[in-house]
Structure 1
């Protein structure tokens, strides 16, 4: 069953129940559970070896969902790249 079929068969109420269950028991996806377990081990090792600052589990987790940039932020990057490459802006007369 694909995601579209699953969402078509799952009510909003049931989806909310699953979300609440996951908050209580932890992630349902075993890959994510493994990633968290590895993060715990990595933080423990770093902290036991005299890390300069106390390591947190989150320091060792992969960031899957990065914040999307605003249109203004993207425009600023384009303008910075344009300037770095020696470009100029032509304004209509």
Structure 2
């Protein structure tokens, strides 16, 4: 199911309830799996490690979106996507945008 299909089938109230549930119970989906797998990896690593520093789950947590926060990063991504979109025959529907 796509995000558009989901939003067409779920009410604003139900979506808000799921968002509140996630705030209480922790992340849902892939983010939660990253946490669970990093805990497992740290546990396995610590069983095979000599005495000394123990591995922490954070040592195995993937660092997604490392480019976030760089100045101009979103502008560059938008320019790239716009260029590819037009190159593949799409049109830019934004107000004032040349296509």
Length-normalised TM-score, structure 1: 0.49
